[in-house]
Chains A and B, each alone.
Chain A
């Protein structure tokens, strides 16, 4: 069964550095999402992406964050200048976008980002 994949599984970076988290959604899915979960807290929505543009973003998703689908298969989340509070598990998700409402979101295994 196809799965969403994410790389790396764990990323350690210094405060102020840029990081790029990578995701390969399930092929033929049309909607893509990033969520994050700070340790001990709930899973929070960051951004949704459809038709090569952001369709919705949360307050967390400020100018330090950006998303891109550079080549039709990868879906990336970039954090330009990491802060300590960006340390979290980042989940990518994709969904088919069929006419069945709402079709299911499938999650990747997550990338644990540690900012030192």
Chain B
């Protein structure tokens, strides 16, 4: 079964603090992992995907196949990072995305 687990519904940090949004997955094959972000009143947009190994807006995520995790990290949070973050995976025909429940990141000044 394909499943994505984001254990935290809400993560509240102060500006300048490090951020780690947790994501664990269950998939029998080799999935592709993504982080999508949804800012207030905006659409879902891709933040990054593991295959690209890139850093977007200071965020990085490393796929750990042993721990089946794909945690999202940023060393210094900014207020504009406040948003809903979804971890998702895809694999197989049709490339549907399977989403986690999402984590609200709130960065306080």
Contact = CB atoms under 8 A, between A and B. Distances in A.
B90 interface: yes
Instruction: For chain B, give the interface size range.
Output: 20 to 34
Given A42-B100, A102-B32, A31 B95 contact: yes
Contact of B97 (A50, A55, A101, A105): A105
Nearest to B31: A102
Interface string B86-109: 100010011111111110000000
A48 B90 CA distance: 13
B97 A110 contact: no
A15 B46 CA distance: 35
Nearest to A37: B99
A43 B32 contact: no
Contact of A55 (B36, B46, B94): B94
B43 A56 contact: no
Given A35-B97, A48-B95, A104-B49, A43 B43 contact: no
A108 B44 CA distance: 8
15 contacts: A41-B101, A43-B86, A43-B97, A43-B102, A48-B96, A50-B94, A55-B94, A56-B93, A56-B96, A91-B44, A101-B32, A102-B90, A105-B97, A107-B43, A110-B43
Given A55-B94, A105-B97, 10 more contacts: A31-B94, A33-B97, A43-B97, A45-B96, A56-B96, A91-B44, A102-B90, A102-B95, A106-B46, A107-B43
